[in-house]
């Protein structure tokens, strides 16, 4: 079980890790990514992230957060907080976290 926190272009190494893991047949490692950006237009590879989440059958979940969300934004807002990290761990991960990766 791996928790990941990325901001902006820091997504790139996280994306490589998740893509490789999801392609692995029979893999069981679960990933949770909190991905922070200033605005919705700053989200890199959003379609790819959403596709990976769907393809992963529960092994990968992405949580978006924006500093300046548009009207009607349905995800998290503001800086990454302890509560966001706790929430991402509650959804689909046991209390045991085997790794945490940070990138910005």
Checking if the pLDDT of 98 tops 80, the result is no
Tens of pLDDT, residue by residue over 35-63, are: 999 999 999 999 999 999 999 989 999 99
State residue 62's pLDDT score: 95
Give long-range contacts, CB 8 A cutoff, 24+ apart: 78-83.
79/36, 80/5, 80/7, 80/34, 80/36
The CATH code of the domain that includes 70 is: 3.40.50.80
| Number of residues that this document lists for the chain | 104
Domain range enclosing 99: 2-103
Number of domains in the chain: 1
Checking if the pLDDT of 103 tops 90, the result is no
Please state the residue numbers annotated as binding site for FAD. Answer: 12
Q: What angle do CA 75, 97, 15 make, to 5 degrees?
A: 55
Cα(26)–Cα(18) distance, rounded to whole angstroms?
Answer: 14
Q: pTM for the whole thing?
A: 0.85
């Amino acid at each position: 079980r791996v928790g990941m926190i990325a901001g902006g272009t820091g997504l790139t190494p996280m994306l490589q890790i998740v893509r490789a893991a999801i392609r692995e047949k029979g893999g069981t490692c679960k990933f949770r990514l909190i991905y922070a950006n200033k605005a919705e237009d700053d989200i890199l590879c959003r379609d790819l992230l959403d596709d990976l989440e769907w393809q992963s059958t529960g092994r990968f979940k992405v949580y978006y957060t924006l500093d300046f969300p548009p009207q009607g934004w349905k995800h998290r807002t503001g800086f990454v907080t302890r509560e966001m990290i706790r929430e991402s761990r509650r959804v689909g991960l046991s209390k045991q976290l085997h790794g945490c990766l940070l990138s910005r």
